[in-house]
Chain A
Amino acid sequence: MLPIGGFEAKPGTKIQVQVLDAKGDFITFAGALKSYGPDGNVTTWTSSQLTAGSGGTATLGDAQGYKVIILPILKKKSQGEMRVRLTASGPTSATEDDVVELIASTPFGWQIIIG
């Protein structure tokens, strides 16, 4: 995965993931929130959820950490660019705005450490 940043957050933090723009030869894309550590929960989001105004949402538990990942599916040997935003609210507030340039269908995303 191509990491694009992240932050430390407290349990109970609400997160919102949005794909604001996708330029290039995208077939489709989807997102997931994955926890690591003893709790192995997964939440997935479709492209329509990620591009909606409300974005893909979830609430962080008390796992060791989480990864918010977007998997783009590009046409073979093509490139694309995505503008994405991760917003955290509640016990922890944070905003990450990123423009990701893609050269293949490789996942990218943020890491959140629970502390």
Chain B
Amino acid sequence: MRLKRFFIVFVTMLPALPSLAQDCNPASLATAGPCTIQEIVTHFHNQVLRDSDVDIAEIEKASDEAVATTIDKAEEEVKDANRATTPPESFAARLHNSYEDFLNPLAFAINKIEESDDGQALTVRFNPWRSPGLEAGLTATIARPTLFSEVQKNIAEEKRAEVTKKVEDALGDFEDITLAFSYSLFETKECTLANLGHCRGRNPKIYRDLLSDVLANGALKDVFLMATETSADFDTENAKLLPFYDTRLSAAGTRQEEVYNLAKNVGTLGGTDSVTSLKVLNDAGIDNLATLIDNQPQLAGTLTYHHREDFTGPPEMSATLEYQRGLHNLNSLKGDQPTFSSLLATDLKKFSMARAGKVVLALSYKRVEPYGLATLGDFATDVPFTAVDIKATNEFKLKAQYGWETAMKLTGERTRLDFSADFARRNEGGKRTLNRFVTTATFTLPYGNNMSVPISLKYANRPEDLQQERKRLSVHFGLSYRLPSEMN
């Protein structure tokens, strides 16, 4: 009786024992057992893309390398388990981990949380808010607080490092926060043939249906159909694999090797067809669609507030408003179908991003609050310290840029004329400390497809703004060469 009871208890416990979970690694038959057939097919499909010369997202390369080293990493973790080899957590990681429970209920509003590469700042991006004619976003960046540089400079040099560390160790986590609110105004809700010519905004969704119609039914239909061709071999092999797609390789039992090789073959054949598709799209200039959208007129602004406390520095606030428009954009191609469709198809193949001119008008204002610190208190007893007293600063900037290709040609290419003007004025404590105006005219002479000679004429109201020139007017001759990799 006792033995039977023990046996029943033991059998019941078995499912509770932790299973030795294995990660899916589709790279070889030996490690692909836990993978679904879809994962194996996708792996070999993407490998063909990576091995070709087509442009793919960088992140895929990083993630595949991670898969390939999973086993090695697991072995390293086991070896390190008994050694204190873990480096100290960065500020951003510590903050992220400490407040994760607090942030979880806000997941509906948060789009992404990012730690900076150096670990010194944590950025929380909230979900963008969209309504007809307005798109807005909010981010909050929490930086590791440091002692304000103007305060550090006023501490006696021999004690500076020691006092700085003492103060920074005592600072809280939230003494340096920047809130940034960005918005684009007067965006068109949906761009159609009826309102093309007056569409505004760079959100691709505005133009999605208009462009899709050209792809599916218009002048780009032939490109679309060519880009969706598959080889007869792919069709035949994939048909054999259909019953297995949602199952794991291990479920194939004695046929694992056969199914694995079939999945590998289907992935490879599909990848080869995909490379051909990407070349078809590239030849049709489809990548230029993104540039035409980016060149659409847009009015955008940003408001930022940089909150800092006693030892970290004065609070700052800034506001910018910018109008941008590429001279050649989707609005330039307005017309009824099929005119728009034909114009777009022709334009994509001829359009050169490098030649696109832009109009930019930017207005910005920045205010830095007054700041004073008379003493460092207990942090610097008996340490010489000069009181800090900084007046409020207000800075106003205006920038305008305009450029275009002229009708004049040289060596078969058009020349360019660009104008820019920058104005900046700063007041500190009510006294004007900067009044700068610089304007530049640049005439660019092309020499072939990848070389050009820009000739600039620059005027500044202060000679010191002309980079070591002693006069207010300067002329500059330059040489610009575009590397073959930039031509693609």
Contact = CB atoms under 8 A, between A and B. Distances in A.
A78 B59 CA distance: 9
A66 to B, nearest CB: 10
A32 B228 contact: yes
B293 A27 contact: yes
Q: Interface majority SS on B: helix, strand, loop or mixed?
A: helix
B211 interface: yes
A104 B235 contact: no
A1 B273 contact: yes
A5 B273 contact: no
Given A3-B270, A5-B246, A113-B239, A28 B49 contact: no
B351 to A, nearest CB: 14
Nearest to B290: A75
B208 A1 contact: no
Interface residues of A, number: 41
Contact of A28 (B245, B270, B271, B289): B289
A107 B228 contact: yes
A21 to B, nearest CB: 13
B287 interface: yes
Interface in A1-60: 1-8, 25-32, 34, 36, 42, 44-48
A73 B110 CA distance: 27
Contacts of A8: 242
Contacts, number: 141
A79 B60 contact: yes
A71 B230 contact: no
A3 B286 contact: no
Interface in B5-61: 38, 41-42, 45-46, 49, 54-60
Contact of B242 (A6, A105, A107): A6
A111 interface: yes
B162 interface: no
A106 B293 CA distance: 21
Interface stretch (B101-109, B212-220, B360-368, B446-454): B212-220
A48 to B, nearest CB: 4
B437 interface: no
A67 B235 CA distance: 9
Contact of B289 (A31, A47, A73, A78): A73
B157 interface: no
Nearest to B60: A103
Interface string B251-281: 0000000000000001000110110011001
Given A1-B228, A3-B241, A46-B217, 15 more contacts: A1-B230, A2-B42, A3-B41, A3-B270, A5-B246, A7-B242, A29-B212, A31-B216, A48-B209, A77-B55, A77-B58, A79-B59, A104-B55, A111-B239, A113-B242
9 contacts: A1-B277, A7-B242, A27-B211, A46-B213, A47-B209, A67-B230, A71-B215, A73-B281, A103-B57
Query: 8 nearest interchain CB pairs?
Result: A47-B212, A79-B57, A106-B274, A44-B216, A30-B216, A103-B60, A28-B211, A5-B245
Interface of A: 1-8, 25-32, 34, 36, 42, 44-48, 65, 67, 69, 71, 73, 75-79, 103-107, 111, 113
Interface of B: 38, 41-42, 45-46, 49, 54-60, 204, 207-209, 211-213, 215-217, 221, 224-225, 227-228, 230, 232, 234-235, 238-239, 241-242, 245-246, 266, 270-271, 273-274, 277-278, 281, 286-287, 289-290, 293
